[in-house]
Structures are given as C-alpha cells and as structure tokens.
Structure 1
Amino acid sequence: MPSAEGLWEADPAQSWSKAFASPTITKSGVDAILSEESLRLSVRSSFGKLWSSQSSPQPENQLGVIIMIHMLLRRKWDMVQYFSEAVHLKITYSHKLGGREAQQQQYLGSIPEYAEWRDYTCDCLDLLHWDAIGFISQQSMFESPSILHLHLSRLLILAPVEALLRCAQTTAASTSIDSLPHSIYASSEDRTTWHTTILSWVREDMYKARLAVIHAGAVLWHVRRFSSHPIVEPFAVFLAALTLWAFGNFGPRREHTCSSLTCSQHTERFPSGETPSTIGPSPCVDSSDTSSPATGNSSINMNHSQNRRPASTRCEVSLTKRRMPRMLQLDRPLDDEFVQYFIRYGGNTQLFLEGVDDLCSEEGPAEILQEASKILIEQPMFWTISAGYAAQLDVISANTTCNTTTEDVRELLS
C-alpha cells in the first residue's frame, strides 16, 4: 500500500526522516526507507481485511482508498461474467427444450446471489467512504479525488452500465463520433435487449436505481465545485448524465409539477415479498446510526419489520412521510434522512438539478444531457476526450424526443 501522505510529500531526506521518526526503529538512510516499507500492509492483505471481515483497512492516503475501490470493481467484472455466462447457459438449455425463457435475457439484478454480492460490495464502499470523509475533515472540507472515485464506483455497481453505453452508442451511431472507449459496444443487436434491461432497472430494481441517481447528482456536484481534473472525470460526468437521463426517460412520467414542499397523504406500498436495499436504517427500525454516506445497504427486511411493529408505529411512519419534502435537488448536498426517504418512498418525488426543473418531466431527460455537456465543455479541457463525450450527449439529447410510451413499455416487457 502507498505510504502516508506526510512521508510522500516530504521533500528533503531530513524532512522524511523527521516525519518517519519512530522510537522502535533507529535505522537511517536506505535502511529506514526499507523499514518503513516493511511496516505497510500489502494490497492483498488490505483488501482481504476489507472484504472478508468488512473492517476498514484504514489506508493512510487517498491513493490507498482508490486502490481498494479498483480492487472491488475488479471483483465486479468477475461476478458479472460469471452470472452472465450462467444465465446464458440456462437460456440456451431452455431454448433446446423449447422453453419460453429463451426469448429474453434475465436482468442480473433479479438474481438473488448477484443482488446479495452487490449489497455486500456497497457495504465495503461505505467503509471506504468513511475513510475518505476522514481525510476531507483534515483538508478544510475540500473533497478529494477519491470522493469522485467513490461516487463513480457506485454508478458502476448500481446502474446497468453496459446497457446505458450500448444505448448511447446506438443512438449516436449515425454520427462520426466513434473514438470513445465505449464504441466497442457497437453491435447489430436488437435495441429491445438493452431497452428491456434499462426498463427493468428503473421499474423493478427501483431502490438501487434511486440510489444510483443520488450518486449521479453527487458526481455533478463534485465536478462543479472540487474538480482536480483526474483522468476518470470526463467518463464520470458522461455516465452520471446517462444514468439520470435513463431514470427520467424510462421511468414513469409526471403529469404535473408539484410546487409544494409538503408531501401529500399518498403512501406507496411495497409489493409483496420485496426487500428494498437502502442506504441506512429503516424508518421502521430503531438504530443509533442514522448518519452514513449516501451509499450502501443495510439489508433490512422492510416487510418483516413492519409486521413486527404495532399499528401506532406504522402510523408514525406514515405521518413522517407526509412531512418529508416532495422535491430534492440532486446536485447539492442532501440530508441523509431525505435520501433514505427518497430511496424507499420517492416514486412521486420531484427531482431537479441545475438547468433541470424536473428530471421526470417531458423535457427533463434532454435537459440533463445538455447540462452535462456544458459541464464537460466549460471545464478546463485537461482531457480532450471531454469534447467527444459532450458531442455524444448532444446527439442523444437531440434524439430524446421519442419518449418511451406506455405501449412501448408493454411491448418491451411482454
């Protein structure tokens, strides 16, 4: 693992020796450097501590946090490949038997084993998020690049990234934009496949979709206020825009704009058997830990909790819901309690961002693409690929006039 920030930043050898001063080590020069290196954990053991025991490896700098994030994402590739191949074999076998399962791919989020792994990974990212927050508190609240990596990692885990990139590439296929990394997803595949995946994500995996939307807004907030122009920034903005666009374009349309901050008495109910994965303690479950980074999963069975609680508690929960805001600005810091409420009951919450009055309105999906394009262009052009991402967002925005209608949804899900 990388050395501590103080040692890394030390310029002359004397400053390094002073920063490394240890009563148990009296060596100097090269021997002191080797001794310091021997005291650091290996990447393998640090990741094992994070994954196996879900305890923070406590990296001593931001690079250590980023390394752990990439270790988690590398494991995600293995899991996706494993389950994708398993589903493909199942469909092929069903096709040989003449079964109906061969007619459509299975959404990965609907596989219990994959969903459980995803929740566990989000818990690990929570621990890393707390480590990053600790670094922030030492830097006058300036968000370090690891925060952008943390939000981006949540998008990569919670959103159907490949389907979103296929959608983007297919939409812009008629243009000359072919130099972006995700152009590898260009194929003659019927658009019904990735349309169905995105629809399943928005409508069936709604709790994870809402959590992804929160992190997408956080990406835009970070880039506007704390950008240090890391190499992942253009792609992070691009993916955040696609995530927000898909949520607004494929989700239910809002028939009218709610201008009141007071919630109505309408109460959403969970379908039987669903267990929403949320970012913190459930309103129906007592917990002393009510402040957490807007990530992760508490693995709380909502139905079981509600069945155990008396009617008076359920009434109090309903009353709390009526008092919660009906509007959230996604690209601003959000109160943890508001975020938890939105993930559980936010089907009718108005979402707005800078330049977007209502994400789920007719104009919202196109507006968020235009806003993200402006961010990519107006930021100092450290990475020329930003122009390519911005151009593709402009193309998708121009083609977003064909909204997904109810008939389209029925056809895709049938």
Structure 2
Amino acid sequence: MVARGGKTPSWVCYLADGLKYKCRERNPSLALAVHKLFLERQMKADLGEYSNLLLLHGVYQEVFKVKDYFNRELSTWTPSVPELNDAGTSGLETGNASALGRRSTFESWRSAAMDCVDVLHWSANGVVAQLLGAEHATVLHLQFSRVVLWSPYEKVQEIAAYLASLTERSELQDSGGASMEAAIQAESEVLQWAQMDEHKARLAALHCGCFFWHRIRIACAIAVPIGR
C-alpha cells in the first residue's frame, strides 16, 4: 500500500484515524488515561491517532518528572531526628548506596514506561494491519519514543550542536553554541551509556534507524514532513 516513489498516499493517513474514530463512550482525561496505562497496561480502544500521541507524551511527562525528582540530592532522604554517634556525626547513609537506589528505582519507572509504549504500539500495529501494511504517522512517533526513553538524547544534542557550529564556522563564544569542553564531556557520557547499557543502546540505535526509514519513505502528514 505504498505509492510509487515510496510515499504512502495521503488518504491512508486520514483512513488511519477514521478506523478508530467511532467512539462508543466518553474519552477519559489525559491524566486518567496515563494512570490506567501505567497501572493496568490498558488503553481505550477507539482513541484517535492524535489522542494516542497525547497519551505517548503523557508517558514522557511522567518519566521526566521522576527523572527530575531522582536527580535531586535529597530525593532519598527521609526527614527525621538523626542519632549522633560518638564522633558527633549523624551517620546518615550517603554516597554510592543512595545513588544506586535512585538508579534502580528510575530504571523500574523507565521499564514501566516502555511497557506503556508497547501497548500503544500494539494498537498502532492493529491499524497498520487494517491498512494492509501501510504505516501511519503514529508509528514514527512510537519508533522515536525508544530513543527518547532509552538514550541520553540531551547529550547527543549537545554533540550535534557543537558539530553544527563547526560546520557553520561560527565563533562558539559569540554564537552561544556548545563549547568543546561540554561536547567532549557529553561524548564521554554517551560512550559510558553505550558500554553500561549496551542492550538498550542497540535497541535505541535500531529504532532510530526505523525512525529515519519511516521519515524518508512513508511520510505523509503535515506533522511528518516529507524527507526528500
């Protein structure tokens, strides 16, 4: 169901929404829909594609909130009256144990978010099957969601900004672009992520490739510009 030149006909995108727009009951709020998706791994079956994208970004927002919380130094501290030891110090547990606890909890949240993305992708695959294999725009966002949730994309953006500033031959200090030191630090963190989290790094790279393939070959909506 792909037209000559690799482009999906524009009517396919409208049909993808039409197949799911026959609402039988009132749609839940975004907060309630995200809550149900995380806790029950379920979503309303007749949501439109735009609603599915809002739901995906609702999942993003929950993960980002958790990430921001655990990046705080006091995130693992419970307010209480500390007991002083002989040396006159409180003996509060800090350091590696707290950092490992934060990382473990955040990893659990990230895994839960990926389960939510899988539910959304199953729904999208159902629409693809009804369209005889033509992928609608929601699939593009779902492919890219693995990059957002699995990779340190902020660091990748820093590296890209630095390389772009070199290509444009602009002065880094005047242009406000990333400095060489920041780019080197970002590159080090990306390399560390690829080594420590190699399985998710491979999957993120794979889904990024699928994203670009969709971007170039099957783009058909105003939200997905033609990649030629």
Whether the TM-score (by the shorter chain) exceeds 0.5 is yes
Deviation at 1:140, TM superposition (A): 1.6
Residue 197 of structure 2 is aligned to residue 231 of structure 1? no
Q: CA RMSD in A?
A: 3.5
Equivalent position SS for 1:186: coil
Residue 62 of structure 2 is aligned to residue 75 of structure 1? yes
Q: Aligned pair in 2 of structure 1 residues 56, 39: CA closer, same or farther (>3 Å)?
A: closer
Stretches of structure 2 lacking an aligned partner (at least 5 in a row)? 1-15, 78-94
Q: C-alpha separation between the residues in 2 aligned to 1:87 and 1:231? A: 40
1:284-295 to 2 correspondences below 5 Å:
none
Residue 199 of structure 2 is aligned to residue 198 of structure 1? no
**Between Structure 1 and Structure 2, which shows a larger proportion of helix residues?**
2
Q: C-alpha separation between the residues in 1 aligned to 2:17 and 2:147? A: 28
Deviation at 1:5, TM superposition (A): 4.1
Name the residue aligned to 1:129.
Answer: 121
Residue 160 of structure 2 is aligned to residue 168 of structure 1? yes
Q: Aligned pair in 2 of structure 1 residues 188, 199: CA closer, same or farther (>3 Å)?
A: closer
Name the residue aligned to 1:50.
Answer: 37
Amino acid at match of 1:224: I
Deviation at 1:74, TM superposition (A): 1.5
Equivalent position SS for 2:72: helix
In 1, are the aligned partners of 2:128 and 2:134 still within 8 Å (CA)?
yes
Name the residue aligned to 2:137.
Answer: 145
Q: Aligned pair in 2 of structure 1 residues 88, 6: CA closer, same or farther (>3 Å)?
A: closer
Name the residue aligned to 2:7.
Answer: none
Q: Aligned pair in 2 of structure 1 residues 192, 218: CA closer, same or farther (>3 Å)?
A: same
Equivalent position SS for 2:144: helix
Stretches of structure 1 lacking an aligned partner (at least 5 in a row)? 10-18, 21-35, 91-100, 235-375, 380-414
Amino acid at match of 2:223: I
In 2, are the aligned partners of 1:47 and 1:57 still within 8 Å (CA)?
no
- What is the TM-score of this pair, normalised by structure 1? 0.40
Q: C-alpha separation between the residues in 1 aligned to 2:182 and 2:33? A: 43
Q: C-alpha separation between the residues in 2 aligned to 1:127 and 1:208? A: 18
Name the residue aligned to 1:154.
Answer: 146
Equivalent position SS for 2:69: helix
In 2, are the aligned partners of 1:118 and 1:157 still within 8 Å (CA)?
yes
Amino acid at match of 2:68: Q
In 1, are the aligned partners of 2:158 and 2:182 still within 8 Å (CA)?
no
Q: C-alpha separation between the residues in 2 aligned to 1:213 and 1:227? A: 20
After superposition, what is the alpha-carbon deviation per residue over 1:313-352, rounded to whole angstroms, capped at 9, x for unaligned? Answer: xxxxxxxxxxxxxxxxxxxxxxxxxxxxxxxxxxxxxxxx
Q: Bigger relative contact order, structure 1 or 2, given CA contacts below 8 A and separation 6+?
A: 2
Q: Aligned pair in 2 of structure 1 residues 163, 87: CA closer, same or farther (>3 Å)?
A: farther
Q: C-alpha separation between the residues in 1 aligned to 2:182 and 2:74? A: 19
Equivalent position SS for 2:166: coil
Amino acid at match of 2:110: R
- Pick aligned residue for 1:116 from 95, 108, 123: 108
After superposition, what is the alpha-carbon deviation per residue over 1:72-109, rounded to whole angstroms, capped at 9, x for unaligned? Answer: 1122321232223339999xxxxxxxxxx8xxxx8x9x
Deviation at 1:146, TM superposition (A): 0.4
Amino acid at match of 2:38: W
Q: Aligned pair in 2 of structure 1 residues 232, 71: CA closer, same or farther (>3 Å)?
A: farther
In 1, are the aligned partners of 2:20 and 2:47 still within 8 Å (CA)?
no
Equivalent position SS for 1:111: helix
Q: C-alpha separation between the residues in 2 aligned to 1:128 and 1:218? A: 17
Residue 211 of structure 2 is aligned to residue 219 of structure 1? yes
Q: Between Structure 1 and Structure 2, whose CA radius of gyration is higher?
A: 1
- What is the TM-score of this pair, normalised by structure 2? 0.69
Amino acid at match of 1:73: Y
Deviation at 1:192, TM superposition (A): 4.0
In 1, are the aligned partners of 2:20 and 2:48 still within 8 Å (CA)?
no
